[in-house]
Every structure is written in C-alpha cells, then in structure tokens.
Structure 1
Amino acid sequence: MYLLREITAVRPYEGGVECAVRAVRCLELPGTPGYLTGEPPDGQGIETTMPNLPELPVPPLDPRGFVLRVAFGSEDAVRITLAPEGARVLDEEPGWLGIVLDGGQGYGPAPRVRTADVASDGGGRGTPETVLQTGRLRVRVARRPFALAVEDTATGRTLLRTGERLRQVAGFPMAPPVLAAEAGSDGEAGTVLNLELGPDERITGFGEQFGPLVKNGQRLRLRVEDALGTGTGMAYKPVPVWHSTSGYLGFLNTGAVVTADVGHRRPDVLGLTVHDEALDLWVIGAPDPKDRLSRYTGLTGRAAVPPLWSLGYWMGRCRYHSAAEMNDVGDTMRKHEVPCDVLHLDPDWLVVDRLNCDFIWNTERFGDRAEFVAGLRERGLRLSLWELPYLDPASPRHAEARARGYLVRDADGEPAQVAGTPTPDGRPRALLDFTNPEAAAWWQDLHTDFLADGVAVFKTDFGEGLPDGTVPADGTPAHHAHNLYPLRYNGAVSAAIAARTGRNALVWGRSGWAGSQRYPGQWGGDAESTVAGMRSTVRGGLSYALSAPGFWSHDIGGFFGPELTPELYVRWTQLGALSPLMRAHGLRPREPWAFGDRALEIARRWVRLRYALLPYLWQTAHESAAHGWPLMRPLGLEFPGDPVAATVDDAFLLGPDLLVVPVFDDGPGPVRRRFWVPEGGWTDLLTGERHTGPGYAERTVALEDMPVLVRDGCWLPRLDVDAAVRSTDDLPDRPWRLELYGTGDGTGDGVRERAGRELTGFDGTPTRVRVEGDTVYAEGSQPFAAHAVRQGARR
C-alpha cells in the first residue's frame, strides 16, 4: 500500500494544474489504528516521547509516482483526478465510461482560474500550498505533507478537506488523505480517499439505499446487485454520488465498486474506497442542493418528459398467463370504474421464459400480438412487456447471438454466465454485450415488430448479473463493466423505443448506476409485502432522488412475502397515488377488487385523485426535465436550511408543493401519525386542515385518509375526474381547474396573481394563466375553468 506524501512539481493544465506526486510505501499498524511509512518518525507526526511506544516494523520507502490534476469545469465545479503515472484515465476524455456526457462540458462556460503558490495559508497548516480559485470555489493543495481542501469563497465555508488532522494518541494518522493499494491476486487495485467530517455534517445519497436517508454511521458497498428484496443490505441501483450539508455534491466517475464508509469505522471520516487504480472525483459546490443536482445532471444527463399515459395507473402481476386473463382484468377495471392506462405482462409472453428473453412471442397463450394489443387499446389500455438481457441456451436466439459474437465473453473467450441470480434449472444463461455496437443494434431490432404492433413500454428487468472478469467488446476494463452494464442495457432499449416511436422513451428499469436518471423510469425492486417493506421502499426512493433524480416508483403492495392485508394494500395504494409513477404489481393479485369492497372503494378514490392531480404532476415532470430535479423529493431538497427536514425519510414532497405523509400500518383502525411540517403555511388537500411550520404535527388518520399538505403560494392545477374517465386518453379536452393556496388575504399574494404563471398544457405547449379576483384568464391551448378556487387563506 502507498501513502501519497508530497507534491514534487506543479505545471499548468487546461482549466487548472497538473501535479507530480510522490508516494511512499506504508503499512497499516497491527492491532492498533494508524499507518506508518519508512520516513523519519518526527516527519510523520509520531509522538516519539510516548513512554509505551512499541517497536514497529518499518517498511521500505520504495517511492512511486502519481499524477494529480485539478481542473475547473465551471465557477462551482471542479474535477480532481488522481492516478499512478501512465494510468489509462489520464489519457481518456471524461466521458470514456459512458457516464459523463458531451465530453464533460455540461457544467457551462469555462471559468477564469487564478493559481498561486503560497508559503502558508495563515490558518495553521504551515506548509507550502498551491491555491486555485474561481469566482466561487477555492482548492488548496498542500505540498508536504500532501493534503486537499475545497472551499466556497462566497460563504467562507470549507466544503471538504482530507483527513490528515485525524490521529490517534501516539500521533499515527488514522485517515491519510489518499492511500493506494496495488493490484492483488484478483488484479484489482484500490484507491482510498479519506475526508474529515465536520461536527454537524450529514451525508446523504449513494443511490437507492433502503436504510436511513442520512448515511452517517453506515458502511455501504456500491455494487449493482440483484438485491433479492429491500431489506438485505444490497442495492439494485447504487450510485457513487452524495451530498454533504457542508454544501457540496460529490461524484466519482467510475464503474468500479466503491465502498463508502460514512463515519462507521472512524466516526469523523468519510472514507471512499474505489476499487480501481484511479480516483476521478467531481465536486460541485453550492448551498442549494437543487442547484447541485442541476449541475450534476447537466454533466450526466436528464430524463425527458415521458408520455402523459405513463403518469397514469399501471396494473401488473407475476404472472398473467393468457390474453383472456388480461382482457378480463381490463374489463373488470372498467366495470369497477377504476382509471387505468397500462397493463403489464411478465415473462409468460415468451415460449422460453425462465431467466430468458428472446422476443419469440407465445401465440398459444396470447394469440396474434397485434390483435391482442389492439384489443387492449379498445379498452383504453396500453401494453407493457417484460424483458431482461439474458439468453437461455434452450432458445434459438442463443446460438445466433453466440455465432455472431454478440454475447459477453469471459477471460477464456467463452460466453460468460449470469451471476447473482439463481437459475431455475441450472443451465448457464448468457448476457448480451451492449458494448458491441452490432450486438446492441441486433437487440434493439428485436423490439421493432413489437413496437410496430403497439407495445407501449418495456420493463427492463434484471441487468445486475454480469460476472466479474469479463472481456467487453469495446475494451472497457473488467472491473468497471459490472456496474456499467445496466446503464448500457437501459440506454440501448430506451434508444430503440425513441427511434422506433418518435416519442420520448420510457422503460421500467430495476438496475442502475450513475447516469441512469436519463433513462426513465426506474422502480424500487422486489419489496416485501410488509410494513417494513413499504417503509424501506420510501427510503430507497428518497435516497435515489438525491443521486439519480427523475422518475422513480415502486410496486404497490410489495412484490413478495406474507399475504398482503387489505389495509396495507390500501395504505400502499395511497402512497402510490402520490408517487412519481404508479404501478401495482406482485407475485399474487394486486387488482383492487381482490382485497374486498372497502379496499376497492378506497383505492378507486385515490386512483381518481391521482388522475385529478395529473396537471400538477405534468408541471413537475417538465420541471424535472428542465432542471434535473426529482419528482419525489426529500424535504431537505426544498428546505436545505431546516436541520430536521434534512433527516426526514418517512415523508416526502411530490414536486415543490405537495407534502405526502404515508401511513405505515397494516391494521384496519385509525392510526396516530406524527410528521414534520416545514416552514410556512400548509393546507391538507382533502380535509382543509391548516398547519404552520416548522414543527411537528400529529393526526389520527383513518384508513380512508393519508395526509397530503399543499404549500401556501401554490397554484395547483387539477381537473375533475368522474366515472367516465377510463384513462388519460379521456383527459386532454377536459378543462383544468385552478386552486390557489394561502392567497387572497391582503398579504401581497395578489401581486403574484396579477403577474400570472406559465403552465405547460397536456399538448406540451405553454399557457399563460393569470387571476383577477376569482376569474381565471388563460392564453394558450390548454382550457381552464373560468373561476379559481381559493384554499387555505392565511388567518
């Protein structure tokens, strides 16, 4: 293992500087915390006067050269790359792994960077430094001993600093700034970045993690896995992106496994271990986390607004076994007057359907595909089809793909075998190699006839099963390939849908990595049908929102586990109705009539409420596409100055103005629910009850109810939904109704009313809306009801 010790040379580099770094061999002390090199003890800061200092083995210096590059992409974003001399990353463009888009130019105009060498910063470091500064950020690179710090010049805050100050009693460093491990027997190197955590600093993010939203005290292994649920400690969509309450977003541009130790081993250390020889860290500094997400998604891509129908109600089951069964579900949905837009069909549409997708339609079960899709469309329904990127040797497509060289190969040149998911019969499934352009095009072409027949969307399931040690066709290093596989898989299918339909693409993906937000949507995997499963699902969505913001959802009712109670089904349906996307799905029936008359009545009311709120969701979807913000938002995203809001992971905001408070319970009786209300005035959407924050509120919530609070100042567009609404096809000609919250009381809100608002209509064009008195004036294609409705005026 090597410890980076000193900067030996500094030279100009585009947008910043490049430094030569000398590293020396070190060892981790046996039986006690700390690291030791072969340098003189006093030069390492060791307390040589300690009376019980033991005799210690001294490693040879064996110096090694590294390269550090510090380059600004904009006033508030800096890229810090550190690698051994000659490492591949030093010769590659930022987008070489397919995560960063447009060559890394998504930050905006290149800033003017000032560079200076100083003897000391006057703050006690007492060491020569190279200081780089833009209008917003300052980076300090200490020469010897090597250290890094990033500061916000506007606020005067230190955003991050390496952990050189953290030592044990004998002076041995416990968190050296950077440690580099040589490749072991598995050929995998490792680079450790140790950052000192501030006394009140909280860390969030790291993708779809199902534990508490604030990651302090946790140790996370960021490796894409078939997590087999939401309570196993694994993740379908880990993302090496995090936020710090000190005011920055960190992004590791890598496909390698990352271990994030957030004060778990050392209470004051954020330790980031990248299982790669290089560290490619991007730091975006801004006090507002929404600004940070805009910068980050400008770099890695944003989701386009999916079709309106995708925001409707989806119904699925594992599995529907025939066309007759699905048509009956559609007919019963219409009989019970429950709006629905999509029916999902899991693998029974295939002839060979066990962990295989070869696009060979099962006519015995589902008849002619075009006729089947047309029959659903007559019922106002669209078809979603399951797929995965694996091929069974029992399928004729396997032999075709193997002969053409389209399968991922192992180090021996043989087709690699799916790992991590048990196969039902022991046959080794192969994986399509999406790094081979011809293979990706072949896979995309297999979708063509399905899309031509009217299939609306594909559920891109799995993608977590690429084994280690493969040899991708494009030369992607093996240790990057596993985590990048789902990004490439979902990207290929999204591109196929967009190219063959001419509309914004939508998939329903389970696995993901950094950049996956640009391929909407995703869902939270196989949650257990328990209160704990529902609770962890919400946490996963909130954590994912901070790292891959966009369109995320979950299986209403959970996918597996104990028989779902009608009451938990109702509570989960309420949550789903106020989620970015809404789909019920599981191993057993999830149709609302399967849970009794009371559950059906309540579920129907909440599904209708969702359709009534689609004008608001439509605005939020366009806001997300424009700015890179999630639809489902942790409270801290909208209220970053509220220390309590930053920790809340049992409630969320849908868009900027709806506070959703799920009820985690599976019993029939009323539930006492305590929840945090952020600053300002809020009105319950259903009861009209008023709340003022910041502070806790408490309510007794009947099974029929769930707290949904609307923020003062909100112009809430909605429409009336009755029994005649079967799907979103019935909505475009219906006038929107405008509800104004917390206005009309002489507090100055009337000025904003006269200024008006611009809303995006269902046809995608803007309509300018203003209110005078109670009259609505709309200029544009979207029809509005003539009178505004005022709600929750301040008292």
Structure 2
Amino acid sequence: MKFTDGYWQVRPGVTALYAQEAHDVEATDAVLRVTAPTAVIRGRGDTLNRPVLTVTLSSPVEGVVRVRIAHHEGRAWHGGFAVADEGPVGSASLTEGGGMLSTGPLTARIADGAPWDLSFEVDGERITGSGPRAAGYLRLDPDAAVDHGVIGNDRADNGIPRESTFIHEQLDLGVGELVYGLGERFGPLVKNGQSIEIWNADGGTSSEQAYKSVPFYLSSRGYGVLVNDPGHVSFEVGSEAVERVQFSVPGEVLEYFVIAGPTPKDVLSRYTALTGRPPVVPAWSYGLWLSTSFTTDYDEATVTSFIDEMARRELPVSVFHFDCFWMREFNWCDFEWDPRVFPDPDGMLARLHAKDLRVCVWINPYIAQRSPLFARAAEQGFLVKRADGSVWQWDLWQAGMGLVDFTNPDAAAWYQSQLRALLDQGVDCFKTDFGERIPTDVVWADGSDPARMHNLYAQLYNRAVHDVLVDARGEGDAVLFARSATAGGQTMPVHWGGDSTSTFPSMAETLRGGLSLALSGFAHWSHDIGGFEGTPDAGVYKRWTAFGLLSSHSRFHGSQSYRVPWQFDEEAVEVTRVFTHLKMRLMPYLYQQGIEASRTGIPLMRPMVLEFPDDPATGHLDRQYMLGPDLLVAPVFSATGDVSFYLPAGEWTHLLSGEVVTGGAWRTERHGFDSLPLYARPGAVLPWGARDDRPDYDYLDGLRMRVFRGGTGTATVTVTTPDGRVETFDIDRAEVTG
C-alpha cells in the first residue's frame, strides 16, 4: 500500500506521523524501550499534544530481534503467529550514543536523539536499518487517495477491509540487494520493485494473488524479516521508496522480527526454528500420485483400468487420489461416497490396498446446504456466523455453503470425527483444498479478529486434518496435499501449487511459485503435472512430467481431462517410465534430504541462490533449481527442446548421459523428451537405490554410491531407510564412478 506522493509529499487524505528521534532509551531485562516522538523535541512545550511511538526491542531466540512499534499500546492487538519464544534472551544496554541489544551474531543499535536511526548489525557492519521517515503512524481520511489493496475474490464481498489507521516501517535496501520470499508468488523470483499484499486468495498461478501468503522475506545481504501479523500486511519492495522495503499493517501496533544469517541457509534455519520445522513425510509419499482429475467421469472400473494399465506399462504408482466427485454434487463436504458411482467403497478401498496403493481423497472446509451435515452443524454452532447470529453462507463453489469454524474446539472435533470415519474405512491421506475464500464480515467463536483469521484459517484447517492423520497413522506416516497456507504452514506438508494452465508459460510460473515458497520456509512442494486448466498438448505434458518427477512430490492431475500418459501418445508413456524409475533410484538421496529438512528447515527444491549465494550470477535465476544440494535441474519450457541455463564453476556431470562439462558459464542445450539438463554437482556423492518400482524399499539393500568428478577428500553420506535404520558411509571422492 502506497501512502506517499513522491519523496516530498503524502497522498491526499493521508496524515503521516513519523518517529523523529529517540527521546529516551531504557534498558531492562534484555529489553530496550524507546520513546520516539513524532517531532524533534527542542523544548518542553514540544512535548505537549505530541503523539509518540513506543518502540520495544527484545530477542525471543538467539540471532533474532523482535521490534514492536506501538502508537496506543492500550488498544487491542489481534496477536501474531505462534512462534518459539525463549526470551528475552541476549543482552540490552545503554551506550554513550543510545542503546543496543545483542543476540547471537545480531546487534540492534538505537542512536540517541535526532534523526531517528535504528540499525541492525552483524560483526559491526550495518546490514539494514530504519532511518528518517521509516517508522510511522498514518491516518487515512475516508476519501484518502490510497489503494487499499482490495484483492481476493472481492466480487464475493471477500476483500481486505478498509481501515483508517496504519503503522508502517521501512528498512534499508543496499546497492545490489535482492529480496526473496513472501510466499508462493508466481511473478519474478526477485521481489524488488513489486507491491505484494499478504492476503490469501484463490487466484490461480497467473495472477498477483497467492494461495500461500507469508509475511517473511529473505535478503541477499544475509538476513530475513518476518512481520508478525497473520492479517493483512502490505509490502512495497523498493516500489514506493526505492531505497527501502516498506511493510504496513492496519491498527495501532506493528511487530516484526529481524533474523540473522549470515548465509541464506542460516536465515531459513533460524526462521523455521522460530515458526516451526516440517516433520518427516513418509517415503511412499515421494512416489507418483495419480488422480481421477476434477470434472471427468469416473467410477471404480475407470480407476481400476488406470491403475492396472499403469502397472502393465511398468509405471509405478504410489497413491491414487479421488478428487471432488467421490462425493455427490451439491453435497461437498458430506464425507460420503456417492452411492450412484461407488456403491461398495469399503470393498473398493480394500481392493486398492491389495494393489499396494495408498488412497487420498479430496476435502474442503465448506459444508454445502444440501448436505445432511449442514443442518446439524448449524444447529450445534459449528459454522461461522454473521454479526446478527445467522450462519454465513454464499453460493460461490457450493450452493449455500457454510464454513466450519475451527476456532470452536467442538467444531474442529466434529470435523475430525468425519475424517476418522474415512480413515477407519481405509483412506490414507487427504487433499485439503481451498481455505482461502475466508470472509471478513463474520464473527468467530473465539472472538478472533476476522481480518487476522482470513490468512490464519488455513493453518487451523490444515492442523485439524494433520492432527487426525498423526493420531491415526503415526507421526512418520501423516501427509497432506494442501493448497493454502501462511507462516508456519510448513509444519503440515505437503503443499501444491494450485490452479495452473496447461502451457509452457504456466509451467514456468509454477516453478517460480515453488522457488518463492522454498525461500519462505517450505521444504516440500508439488504441482499439477501437465497443468490444471485445459488439456496440455503432448509436448507440454512430457516436459512437465520430467519437471514434476524431479520435484519433491509428484502428481498427475487436471481439470476436465484424464492425465494418464497414454492419453497423449506412446512417447509420453516412455517419458513417464524414465522419470518415475529415476525418482525411485534417487529415493535414498531424496528421503535423506527430507529428514535433513526436518532438522534444519532447508527445502528439498532450492533456488540456485540458496546453494550458491556468493555467485552473483545466481541471484535472479528462476528457471532452474537444485534438488537437494547435489542435483541441478533445468526444466525445458519450449516446444523445440531448447533450454538455456547457468552452471556454477566446476566440473558438472550430466546424470543421464555421463557427459562432463565445465561450469562458470551459461549453456544452451537441446534435449529430447526423455532428457533435460540434470547435472550432478562437482564432487557429489549420490546414494543410488537398487529398485525402480516403488519409493518405500530397503535403501541399504543393493545400495551403491555414485561418485562424480570435481571433488577432493572424503564425503560422509548418511542413508536412512523408511523403517528407521541408519548407516553412514565415508566415501573417497577420488574413486570416481559417475
């Protein structure tokens, strides 16, 4: 949200009051408290009729500084995210020139007097800071000439509420500094120059909206910033004040965390320690998920024909997913199999399990009016209400649908009871769709601020479902396929990229979204192979198949057409076979990376800048990625098979052909459908599995180590089997096997 009219003026209808000086600084119990008047105080008379901002600095965990800017502290604040808090930790002290707070490698230093200057330093070097006209309190007249950032299905009365007061902060951007993150954004990976609203919306992958909005950004200068507000946060990333990142929230209080590096991995590790680390997901979930697709006609015979044909063609499937129409139309969700199509669900699930498959079913948090559950839920107060006490309903998606109120523990328990019945029947996991179309003109059972709950709802919804799976299946066997999220959502994997179209540009924007999400703390991610809307041509399908099976999780899914490979051409069958078998061989490597993610928060799919932060050529790369630390993947986004990509310095080995090339430069290659740029990092040692027919096998049985050129010394490689056995190998990199 932009408040200014160029450098000198504010927009009509805006009154801006900025912190002008640190009038006094107090240091007590590892906390700094600063009184910041909105004018320079030159005499006693200047202290009268003068608003002040109270700025409080503390540290919840080592290496993280919390900054709280408040105008009226007595006004209600709707609270932040659930974060780790061991504090206050670190040490606060007064200095000759003001005050300082030190925590781990990070120091916040406030300069006494005017002008306002709050500096964040590592090893004595300022990495960013809040200077003049940065920390501000802004009032808007009713006709203020600002864009309130109203997005998110606004035609359905579901936009961001208009507010009259805001707190904003601006942190410095250095020369050449790049900003990443802010959730699953489908535009450029580098966020400089963008205006971004943290407000979840069902907008597809080709818009400025996002299913997963995360008010966290990561800087190339070795720090991160989390705005601790689950509600509407508006970011101007060098787009209003081009030398700064501005973030603003409605109300009287703004709280944010500055998170130390020095490397991007260090920042993500500290950030996920603060907001939560992902659990280990089951090995079987890394295999291929096959779907009915959305609006296609299907029954058990259709499903069985797909599964049997995939097996006949040696295309291993791990999970079969039933999309929406496993339930009767107009009834979503009643959690009942449509008896007209699936008259024997218990028997069908048993038959699918006999084929060694897991079963996933689609759900959402809405209860349609036609569903028998609607009246029961409404009567017991389990649905979100309007201010007049009536049930909130609309007709978008499902006619007359209500929304389950997960702030009501009884409602959450009731919803979970429906899921437990499905688990008892034989369902193994759930696709938690939607969770973004959350209204603000409602009253929540626990009194939550509706604006706060709009983004946070996804967390409550996914948590309710994930907890049921953990209870029923165990910690290591619980997995979702979720669409919506915000900060902390990484603790309930897996998430997929939402509704893309079946084109090469949409394939590329899908990857950008996944890489942006990775730099927002999410370790696991998937997408609809082939795109969701429309039907891809055979070329798009085959190229997307290679990309999808070199993602952490892989699913064939679409809207109006089946996505089994023989529907496209016979070559698509062969491409699917090549890359499913490849992923199965890579499972000792991928599964171990998932375990490491649970310990460190570092994602499986990594933007190049995460692995090579000191190589300036990697800063803007968003058409390639690292899969774990040792494999470079550059998907092909062209009908011709031409692809340009960058290889960092060193000797890189193509995993499929064995060709060794020298990096430190851009390359252009042409690949057939059964190949793509897939390079092992110089000196990489890949644990290579013996089976290509399933993801959950004994990785130690028949394991071999593939050692690639370009390394020296000994590499230590750990392999963990799905049943928990661990072996560590010391491998001499001089014994190159390739």
TM-score normalized with structure 1 length: 0.83
What amino acid is the match of 2:36?
A: V
Correspondence list, 1:117-136, <5 A: 117-119=95-97, 129-136=98-105
Indicate the residue corresponding to 1:663 in structure 2.
636
How many Å apart are 1:61 and its aligned residue?
A: 8.7
After superposition, the C-alpha distances for 1:522-561 in whole angstroms (9 at most, x for unaligned) are 0000011011110000000000001132111100000003
Cα distance in 2, alignment partners of residues 186 and 651 from structure 1: 40
The answer to whether the Cα contact below 8 Å between 1:276 and 1:479 also exists between their aligned partners in 2 is no
Map of 1:63 onto structure 2: 50
Residue matched to 1:765: 725
What residue number does 1:33 align with?
Answer: none
Is 1:328 matched up with 2:305? Answer: yes
Aligned-residue offset at 1:393: 1.2
> How far off its partner does 1:693 sit?
2.8
How many Å separate the matches in 2 of 1:152 and 1:159? Answer: 6
Q: Which moved more, 1:377-386 or 1:654-663?
A: 377-386
Task: Output the CA distance in 2 between the equivalents of 1:639 and 1:449.
Answer: 48
Residue 107 of structure 2, aligned match among 130, 138, 146: 138
**Does residue 181 of structure 1 match 2:135?**
no
Residue 337 of structure 1 corresponds to which residue in structure 2?
314
Letter aligned with residue 334 of structure 1: A
Report how many aligned residue pairs link the two structures. 699
After the TM superposition, which residues 619-658 of structure 1 pair with which residues of structure 2 at under 5 Å, given as runs?
Answer: 619-658=592-631
How many angstroms apart in 2 are the aligned matches of 1:731 and 1:327? Answer: 28
Instruction: Return the letter of the residue paired with 1:328.
Output: S
CA distance in 2, matches of 1:320, 1:678: 48
State the alpha-carbon separation in 1 of the partners of residues 454 and 340 from structure 2.
Answer: 37
Deviation at 1:366, TM superposition (A): 1.4
The higher-RCO structure (CA 8 Å, 6+ apart) is 2
Q: Is the partner of 1:508 in helix, strand or coil?
A: strand
Cα distance in structure 2, aligned partners of 1:145 and 1:353: 63
Distance 2:608 2:359 in 1: 35
2:504 match = 531
Identity over aligned pairs, percent: 35
Structure 1 position 77, deviation (Å): 1.1
Note if contact 1:309-1:729 (Cα within 8 Å) is conserved in structure 2.
yes
Name the counterpart of 1:266.
Answer: 241
Which among 662, 687, 700 is matched to residue 717 of structure 1?
Answer: 687
Summarize the Cα distance change of 1:759–1:219 in structure 2 as closer, same or farther, 3 Å threshold. Answer: same
Q: Which moved more, 1:282-291 or 1:269-278?
A: 269-278
1:130 touches 1:143 (CA, 8 Å); kept in 2? yes
Q: For each residue in 1:687-745, what CA deviation from the matched residue of structure 2 results, as whole angstroms up to 9, or x when unmatched?
A: 112233322122222222111111122221122345xx2x33566684222111127xx
What is the CA distance between 1:287 and its match in structure 2?
Answer: 1.6
5 Å matches for 1:613-624?
A: 613-624=586-597
8 Å contact from structure 1 (residues 527, 559) kept in 2: yes
Deviation at 1:381, TM superposition (A): 1.5
Q: Which whole-Å CA distance do the structure 2 matches of 1:435 and 1:696 have between them?
A: 52
Distance 1:134 1:338, change over 3 A: closer
Q: Sort the Cα spacing of 1:773 and 1:207 in 2 relative to 1 into closer, same or farther, 3 A.
A: closer
Q: How do 1:688-699 and structure 2 match up within 5 A?
A: 688-699=658-669
Match of 1:15 among 7, 13, 30: 30
Which structure has the greater CA radius of gyration? 1
Corresponding residue SS for 1:409 = coil
CA contact (8 A) 1:135 1:153 kept: no
Q: CA RMSD in A?
A: 2.6
Measured in 2, the distance between the counterparts of 1:764 and 1:730 equals 12
Whole-angstrom CA distance in 2 between matches of 1:290 and 1:353: 46
Please report how far the alpha carbon of residue 163 of structure 1 lies from its aligned counterpart in structure 2 after TM superposition. 4.3
Confirm whether residue 375 of structure 1 aligns to residue 345 of structure 2. no
Deviations 1:144-190 (A, max 9, x none): 44634333332x331211242xxxxxxxxxx5432333696945632
Aligned partners of 1:564, 1:758: CA distance in 2, in Å? 40
TM-score (norm 2): 0.90
In structure 2, distance between residues paired with 1:176 and 1:300:
26
Call closer, same or farther: CA 1:261–1:687 in 2, change over 3 Å: same
| Equivalent residue number for residue 63 of structure 2 | 76
2:9 maps to none
Match in the other structure for 1:359: 335
1:771 offset after TM fit, Å? 4.5
Is residue 545–residue 575 contact of structure 2 (8 Å, CA) maintained in 1? Answer: no
Aligned counterparts of 2:733 and 2:439: Cα–Cα separation in 1: 65
Q: CA deviation at 1:764?
A: 2.0
Q: Which amino acid aligns with 1:740?
A: V
- Asked if 1:304 corresponds to 2:279, the answer is yes
Partner of 1:422: 396
Letter in 1 for 2:136: V
Quickly say closer, same or farther: Cα 1:591–1:14, change in 2 above 3 A: farther
The CA deviation at 1:461 is 0.1
Q: Is the Cα–Cα contact under 8 Å of residues 17 and 70 in structure 1 kept in the other structure?
A: yes
SS at 2:437 equivalent: coil
Q: CA deviation at 1:139?
A: 1.3
Question: 2: distance between equivalents of 1:146 and 1:445?
Answer: 59
Cα distance change of structure 1 residues 571 and 710 upon mapping to structure 2, 3 Å threshold? same
Q: For the residues of structure 1 that align with 2:238 and 2:339, how far apart are their CA atoms?
A: 56
* Distance in 1 (alpha carbons) for counterparts of 2:359 and 2:106: 50
- C-alpha distance in structure 2 between counterparts of 1:374 and 1:728, whole Å: 21
One-letter code aligned to 1:192? H
Taking the aligned partners of 1:85 and 1:181, their CA distance within structure 2 comes to: 13
Cα distance change, pair 584–469 in 1 and its aligned pair in 2 (3 A): same
One-letter amino acid of the structure 2 residue matched with residue 160 of structure 1: T
Find the residue that maps to 2:482 and give its secondary structure.
coil
One of 350, 353, 356 as aligned partner of 2:327: 350
CA positional deviation for 1:75 = 4.0
- For 1:205-224, what aligned pairs fall within 5 Å after superposition? 205-224=181-200
Query: How far did residue 286 of structure 1 move?
Result: 1.2
2:737 maps to 1:790: yes
Query: Is the contact between residue 108 and residue 121 of structure 2 (CA under 8 Å) also seen in structure 1?
Result: no
Q: SS of the counterpart of 2:484?
A: coil
Cα distance change on mapping 1:179 and 1:196 into 2, 3 Å = farther
Unaligned runs of 5+ in 2: 1-14, 143-160
Query: Is residue 75–residue 110 contact of structure 1 (8 Å, CA) maintained in 2?
Result: no
Aligned to 2:371: 395
Deviations 1:295-316 (A, max 9, x none): 1111111111111110000011
Bigger mean CA deviation after superposition, 447-456 or 532-541: 447-456
Q: Secondary structure at the match of 1:609?
A: helix
The amino acid across from 1:309 in the alignment is W
CA distance in 2, matches of 1:189, 1:470: 21
Deviation of residue 473 (structure 1)?
Answer: 1.5
User: Kindly tell me: are residues 320 and 506 of structure 1, through their superposed partners in 2, closer, same or farther at Cα, counting changes over 3 Å?
Assistant: farther
Report what 2:149 is aligned to: none
- Report how far residue 195 of structure 1 moved: 2.1
1:365 partner SS: coil
Q: Are 1:314 and 2:268 an aligned pair?
A: no
CA contact (8 A) 2:137 2:165 kept: no
Aligned equivalent of 2:551, options 579, 595, 613: 579
Q: The residue matched to 1:73 in structure 2 has which SS?
A: coil
User: Is residue 385 of structure 1 aligned with residue 338 of structure 2?
Assistant: no
Aligned-partner Cα distance in 1 for 2:547–2:59? 42
Q: Find the aligned partners of 2:100 and 2:736 in 1 and give their Cα distance.
A: 57
Offset of 1:17 from its aligned partner? Answer: 1.5
Q: Given the superposition, is the C-alpha separation of residues 21 and 574 from structure 1 closer, same or farther in structure 2, using an over 3 Å criterion?
A: same
Other structure's SS at 2:573 match: helix
Deviation at 1:131, TM superposition (A): 2.7
**In 2: Cα distance, 1:375 partner to 1:242 partner:** 47
* Structure 1 unmatched runs, 5+: 25-38, 44-59, 120-128, 165-174, 775-787
CA distance, structure 2, for counterparts of residue 84 and residue 555 of structure 1: 46
CA distance in 2, matches of 1:763, 1:148: 55
Contact 1:672 1:699 in 2 (8 A): yes
After the TM superposition, which residues 395-414 of structure 1 pair with which residues of structure 2 at under 5 Å, given as runs? 395-414=371-390
Q: 1:111: Cα distance to partner? A: 4.3
The aligned residue for residue 233 of structure 1 is 208
Question: Structure 1 residues 61 and 192 mapped into 2: Cα distance closer, same or farther (>3 Å)?
Answer: farther
Counterpart code for 2:600: H
SS of residue in 2 equivalent to 1:221: strand
Change (3 A) 1:183 1:628: farther
| In 2: Cα distance, 1:608 partner to 1:283 partner | 43
